Amino acid sequence: MSPVLQSDLQPAQEGRRASRPKMMCAAVFAEAGRIELEDKPVPDVGPLDALLRITTTTICGTDIHILKGEYPVARGLTIGHEPVGVIAKLGSEVRGFREGQRVIAGAITPSGHSAACLCGCASQDGPGERHGFKPMGGWRFGNTIDGAQAEYLLVPDAMVNLAHVPSGLTDEQVLMCPDIMSTGFSGAESGGVGIGDHVAVFAQGPIGLCATAGARLMGATRIIAVESVPERQAMARRLGADDIVDFSKCDPVAEIMRLTDGRGVDVAIEALGRQETFAAALRVLRPGGTLSSLGVYSSDLTIPLGAFAAGLGDHRIVTTLCPGGKERMRRLIDVVASGRVDLGALVTHRFPLERIKEAYELFAHQRDGVLKVAITP
């Protein structure tokens, strides 16, 4: 089933929808282990907001953490943070956009005016906090406000967070921009990958695959992907991996050290969120190398003393939460439009919104070679 190209709707066309429904279908967190479809009111639009009619969204690994009760959210919250859609209504103070325009919004929706935003840490946005910082504060969709797995989505601070989608791109081509492309690329960026670097990426799920693609774009000349699933191994090679280390068949640390002739890698990107992969990523670094952590961890981490050279190895450990905001989205859309990377191929399965529970079942259990699912209301 091939994706359908969706052209911009003209404002008049959207206007003829006139009577937007008062209620909408949404996937909500009911309790640990259960996502349900419910009817909810279509959100009212404030002066700085935009109401999107969702045309495509997806399920993220973080949504699975929420489903399992590993990450707490309020019961009844609409889940999801990766929207592609059409502007159904604009707030009275929003400029630079028009109703009927195709757009995306990042998974991170910063206010644009907090101390965190103004010092380049928009993902930690805390406009209502005493000092303007809040851990993960920029992540609002499907966390602190209703998210994208619904027929409509309210985007706060629209002028800071909406980015236009060119008519030549399909929904599926830009579906990865709001989260996994931004997150994966940021693993390479925060790690400081440079021209000629050797990079190891632990786990080739959607985030790890995007980290592999990002490392290649930043100039790495040897990318070692750690993965056991054949379909993911093949996709990793397609996106830029030079070597595949199958951890089910060998010790990945020993194999990476062998591949690098005992030197280790300049940057190791951890994209799974487990103690064993975090420790392995640290063990394969050269002295002075950087561990770039993208995983979502659910327990305390321990740093192996030897790999850390007792704290004297000039290593760097950096963490990153998916960068957001309209300029980040614009740049990622440009990367897609340029043809330098094709992440539409990560969409392996498609479901209508009314079958989203089936999509969660498939994605949560990683069946049938699934990478990403496209959900269409």
The β-bridge partners of 34 are 31
pLDDT of the residue at 200:
98
pLDDT of the residue at 298:
84
Between the alpha carbon of residue 97 and those of residues 71, 81, 91, the distances in Å are: 34, 21, 10
Query: Is residue 222 domain-shared with residue 296, that is, in the same domain?
Result: yes
- Percent of all residues in the chain with a pLDDT value above 70, rounded to a whole number: 95
Query: Is residue 43 domain-shared with residue 167, that is, in the same domain?
Result: yes
Q: How far apart are alpha carbons 41 and 376 in whole angstroms? A: 19
Query: Is residue 308 domain-shared with residue 348, that is, in the same domain?
Result: no
Query: Is residue 151 domain-shared with residue 96, that is, in the same domain?
Result: yes
pLDDT of the residue at 179:
97
Query: Is residue 249 domain-shared with residue 202, that is, in the same domain?
Result: yes
Q: What would the pLDDT profile of 51-110 be if each residue is shown by its tens digit? A: 999 999 999 999 999 999 999 999 999 999 999 999 999 999 999 999 999 999 999 999
Query: Is residue 253 domain-shared with residue 127, that is, in the same domain?
Result: no
pLDDT value at 3 more than 60: no
8 Å CB contact between 353 and 151: yes
What total of structural domains would you count in the chain?
Answer: 2
Is the residue at 155 inside a domain? yes
pLDDT of the residue at 325:
97
When pLDDT is averaged across residues 273-297 and rounded to a whole number, the result is 97
Query: Is residue 51 domain-shared with residue 147, that is, in the same domain?
Result: yes
Q: Count CB atoms within 10 A of the CB of residue 308.
A: 17
pLDDT value at 348 more than 70: yes
Domain range for 286: 183-319
Is the residue at 332 inside a domain? no
Is the residue at 57 inside a domain? yes
> Which range, of 14-28, 191-205, 234-248, averages the lowest pLDDT?
14-28
pLDDT value at 5 more than 80: no
Mean pLDDT of all residues in the chain? 94
Which CATH number fits the domain that encloses residue 298?
3.40.50.720
Which CATH number fits the domain that encloses residue 95?
3.90.180.10
Q: What would the pLDDT profile of 18-35 be if each residue is shown by its tens digit? A: 567 899 999 999 999 999
Query: Is residue 39 domain-shared with residue 169, that is, in the same domain?
Result: yes
Query: Is residue 158 domain-shared with residue 241, that is, in the same domain?
Result: no
Residues with Cβ within 8 Å of residue 296, at least 6 apart in sequence = 61, 62, 65, 71, 273
